[in-house]
Structure 1
Amino acid sequence: MKKIIVLAILILLAACGPREDTAVSTTPSTPHIQNISRAAAGTLYSTIDQLAANQPTGNQPAINLLIAANVIAWLGLLLFIWRTRRQLGVSRWAWQVAGGVLVMIVLATAVYLFTSLQNTPPTAPLESTTSLADRLAQAGAIPPLQLSAAANTEVELGRALFWDPILSGNKDIACVTCHHPNEGTGDGLPLPIGTGGQGLGPTRVLLPTARQILVPRNATPIYNLGLDGMDVLFWDGRVSVTPDGQFNSPANDDTPHNLANAIAVQAMFPVTSRDEMRGHSGDNDIFGERNSLGTIQDHQFTLMWEGLMADVLAVPAYQELFQAAYPSVPLDELTFAHAANALAAYQMDTFTFLDSPWDRYLQGDETALSPEALAGAELFYGEAGCASCHSGSLLSDMQFHNIGVPQIGPGKGNEAPLDFGRARETSSDSDLFAFRTPPLRNVAITGPWMHNGAYNSLEVVIRHHLNPQEAVANYDFGQLSPLVLAEDSGDTAVHTAALNAPSFGMPTRELTNAEIAALIAFLESLTSPTVLDLSHTIPDSVPSGLPVGGAIN
């Protein structure tokens, strides 16, 4: 028995001592026993090493599990030898030696497991081996398809209509007033000033006699409407194309059937909005005449469009332009749908550009991006998670998301001062405060950003995406104009409503200042150099003889 105890102690020392990859010093009397121990436990050590390399420091449940598995395995082997000792012809002395060895191995490996896993340093996370090309493929980031251009005559008609305030009830505002090429095809304001205003861009103001309130949503830029897939429009998506090619619109069954595309459908509606272009009952136009469009009921879309076409076709120069654009259509059969098709043709032709550094990169020019912009692209399509929504060739999934934007401004509709966003169209709680993911080409020059212009810098926009709760809690109301502040509720419950809706579920993320700067560099690489000077698109005059662009001077 004494021999067994001695053997057990020596085996325990051998099993718990340094392993073969460490320099050891053994006495002449123990090498044979050490060899036996290591032969029995060598495979186990190798397995333990692999497991330990993947375990974080102090992972006690994993340690306990491995120790229990080790004990059960060795005791099972011991029980097997005990039950088969006579069949195996094992003598009593040999059985005692074997039993002692196995017991010591159980103890030794348990000690080894505990100390090895406890002392294993945490393994650094593996670097992602996914290349930017792979990530782009996963996000569907391919060069977009530009649709075929319309006939020049249709584009010219659209240009005249786009710049002419004849399409407004008070004859004081044109489409371009809120979508000016010198203002990033927007107006540079958080919320637009529609009819009743004067001036252009951030200098635009409401006239003292105006009864107008602010348009409740930010003027979306009109860049790249000529790209395939631009078929969900307005912040709430109230204009869209169905899978079978039909159009959804606020006019429902009154939507004309001869509209060319979703851009044309969209062009049918700003002229019907009291806040934007139509005006109100009792308004007088710039000539002192009664605004006849303002007296029409809000649901009578066909009457509004007929009234507009009567004004337009009363101008001889427009008769010529329409006949040139649509030579097979008699004048008395022209409708506002033809005007909308021309407006769409002009916007799609004039403001679609695919010459940004990012577009050149997608087209194969690997030198198009700066190192910082390239690092930003890696973040955008990787760790930052931007491409989960800003995906595809348009940098938008054309879906609707509640990202917790602070509810500032007058709000929209019956729920004012709130703006329910997509839920106004679907009546679904899952769409509360959800707005369309905006396409991002030229985003760096189209601020203020968000559906209500809540943020005036890209850095703040990014920080909001990283932690919406913190961004809303620290929102700087000093960045808002006096007009917006005057129409804001001032109610914290309103400002934070989107964060508390069932539709909100954005995770928080962390990025360093350098990573945020890289993301901004990438977003700036989406800017076409051509858009920086579009002064050549401004006409000298419009067919009606009214001021070009409306009351913008």
Structure 2
Amino acid sequence: MKCLRVGGLQFLMLSAVLLVLSACGPDRDSRKKKVEKVSESIAVLGALPASAIDPPDNPTSAKKVELGRFLFYDPILSGNRDVACGTCHQPEFNYAEFLETSIGVNGSGRDSKRQFLTPNTIPFVKRNSQSVLNAAFNGLTNHGPYNPVLAPMFWDSRAKGLEEQALMPIKTLEEMRGHAFSEETIIDEIIARIQKIPEYQTRFAEAFTGEPNPVHAKNLARALAAYERTLIATNTRFDQYMRGDSNALSVSEKDGMNLFLRTGCAKCHNGPMLSDFKLHTLGVPDTQNRKESDTGVNNTYAFRTPSLRNLRYTAPYMHSGKFTTLDQVMFFYEDLAGGKIENPHVTASQIDTLATQMNLKFRDISGIVEFLNTLNDDGFDKTVPNRVPSGLKVSGNLN
């Protein structure tokens, strides 16, 4: 009992020393980590507006949207006249498709049965087909003005706005261009074809009144963008809840949302589109459909945060399409937070700290997935024209 025989002053001094030592020990580190992993509040999320905003130089009209729909499904826009925008962006798959990476030019068949024709010298499309649905809201956040002209497009944000985005697939070898035309000449070729079709001449004149020669590349992009801006799904149960209907989500779905916020998912997946629209390096494994590794933006393996809306219809996931279920995506993030990197070309120092600091556990996964399913809205426009003005197969060689 000798150790208890300490004078009052000595006891106070010993206590002070112990307090200092404890503040420098593991408990302090754990408290620091807890501060770093403070969960987000529901205020970082948000409901979508009822409609999208048009850019000043492309106000919408029924005639313009109708023209854009025909163009979207018409293979006349491809070099070989065998693939359309609607080939890889199909309504039944939320205007994406159920393939790891797409088969564009020189392909035939639908969904998992789609394959290249022989002989073939066309590669697979580089990345997973992103959904066009709600792309009109890209860049929308809870704070600041929304400018549709600056909306980030594609996995690498290389285009701004639907109008700039619209013509890029036409210029890309494996997506729509093929070998017959160069990137510099393909758009002129497409415009020349459209100018020879009387119905398109009429429809362009009706959509762009007052222009003496309305069939040109800028109006082609405007018509496609006007149509794509109507492809929105804004009334999910999550949206209803965020607009004030507390009964729109079940108790377990609300618990899942709280897990989504607490584990760190919302640090990148936030705002009305559940995306910060920023570039992040995660070390996602490459698709085996291409020989080369996809190095992302500026060879950093960084890709834009995708929206989490309507995920039920847009599998497989990530830029490489390597994960076929949401559970697999969650397992990937759990492993990433634990230090496992699945892409051998990416080092630990490159991985975004927002991902490594996530606090995702196996027990949380089913709850988060249940919440993600409240972000589905099947009430979007799925209308596909029965014919296109060129007389070619609607959506190209899908059958």
After TM superposition, the score normalised by the length of structure 2 is 0.84
Equivalent residue, structure 2, for 1:37: none
1:156, distance to aligned residue in structure 2 (A) = 0.2
Q: Is the 8 A contact 1:191 1:452 kept in 2?
A: yes
Aligned partner (choices 181, 192, 203) of residue 295 of structure 1: 181
Query: What CA deviation, in whole Å up to 9, does each residue of 1:413-453 have, x standing for no partner?
Result: xxx61212111xxxxxxx60000111121123211111110
Query: What CA deviation, in whole Å up to 9, does each residue of 1:356-382 have, x standing for no partner?
Result: 011111111111112222112112222
Q: Is the 8 A contact 1:264 1:341 kept in 2?
A: yes
Aligned partner (choices 316, 326, 333) of residue 458 of structure 1: 326
Aligned partner (choices 325, 346, 351) of residue 498 of structure 1: 346
When residues 112 and 234 of structure 1 are mapped into structure 2, their CA distance, relative to the original with a 3 A threshold, is closer
Equivalent residue, structure 2, for 1:201: 111
* 1:372 maps to amino acid: S
Looking at structure 2, the residues matched to 397 and 113 of structure 1 have their Cα atoms a distance apart, in angstroms, of: 46
- Per the alignment, in what secondary structure is the counterpart of residue 467 of structure 1? helix
When residues 113 and 340 of structure 1 are mapped into structure 2, their CA distance, relative to the original with a 3 A threshold, is closer
* 1:390 maps to amino acid: H
Equivalent residue, structure 2, for 1:7: none
Looking at structure 2, the residues matched to 337 and 471 of structure 1 have their Cα atoms a distance apart, in angstroms, of: 47
Looking at structure 1, the residues matched to 390 and 202 of structure 2 have their Cα atoms a distance apart, in angstroms, of: 13
Looking at structure 2, the residues matched to 514 and 233 of structure 1 have their Cα atoms a distance apart, in angstroms, of: 34
Kindly indicate whether residue 315 of structure 2 is the aligned counterpart of residue 315 of structure 1.
Answer: no
Structure number with higher helix proportion: 1
Equivalent residue, structure 1, for 2:9: 106
Equivalent residue, structure 2, for 1:353: 233
1:509, distance to aligned residue in structure 2 (A) = 4.1
- Per the alignment, in what secondary structure is the counterpart of residue 253 of structure 2? helix
* 1:516 maps to amino acid: I
Equivalent residue, structure 1, for 2:159: 239
Aligned partner (choices 366, 370, 373) of residue 250 of structure 2: 370
1:343, distance to aligned residue in structure 2 (A) = 0.7
Kindly indicate whether residue 370 of structure 2 is the aligned counterpart of residue 516 of structure 1.
Answer: no
Looking at structure 1, the residues matched to 338 and 317 of structure 2 have their Cα atoms a distance apart, in angstroms, of: 18
Looking at structure 2, the residues matched to 104 and 307 of structure 1 have their Cα atoms a distance apart, in angstroms, of: 96
1:342, distance to aligned residue in structure 2 (A) = 0.7
1:504, distance to aligned residue in structure 2 (A) = 4.7
> Percent sequence identity over matched residues?
31
Looking at structure 1, the residues matched to 95 and 134 of structure 2 have their Cα atoms a distance apart, in angstroms, of: 11
Matches within 5 A, 1:108-257: 135-137=41-43, 139=44, 141-144=46-49, 146-148=51-53, 150-227=60-137, 228=140, 229=146, 231-240=151-160
The gaps in structure 1 that reach 5 residues or longer are 1-11, 18-102, 241-261, 281-293, 424-430, 476-494
* 1:497 maps to amino acid: H
Equivalent residue, structure 1, for 2:317: 449
When residues 182 and 153 of structure 1 are mapped into structure 2, their CA distance, relative to the original with a 3 A threshold, is same
Looking at structure 2, the residues matched to 156 and 368 of structure 1 have their Cα atoms a distance apart, in angstroms, of: 34
* 1:269 maps to amino acid: M
Query: What CA deviation, in whole Å up to 9, does each residue of 1:93-145 have, x standing for no partner?
Result: xxxxxxxxxx8422455688899999xxx9x99x99xx99x8132x2535446
Matched positions, count? 374
The gaps in structure 2 that reach 5 residues or longer are 22-26, 55-59, 141-145
Aligned partner (choices 397, 403, 406) of residue 285 of structure 2: 406
1:183, distance to aligned residue in structure 2 (A) = 1.8
1:224, distance to aligned residue in structure 2 (A) = 0.9
1:522, distance to aligned residue in structure 2 (A) = 1.1
* 2:391 maps to amino acid: G
Looking at structure 1, the residues matched to 18 and 153 of structure 2 have their Cα atoms a distance apart, in angstroms, of: 63
Which structure 1 residue ranges, 4+ long, deviate > 6 Å from structure 2? 110-118, 469-473
* 1:527 maps to amino acid: N
**Which structure would you say has the larger Rg?**
1
1:517, distance to aligned residue in structure 2 (A) = 0.6
Looking at structure 2, the residues matched to 314 and 438 of structure 1 have their Cα atoms a distance apart, in angstroms, of: 39
Kindly indicate whether residue 221 of structure 2 is the aligned counterpart of residue 340 of structure 1.
Answer: yes
When residues 508 and 444 of structure 1 are mapped into structure 2, their CA distance, relative to the original with a 3 A threshold, is farther
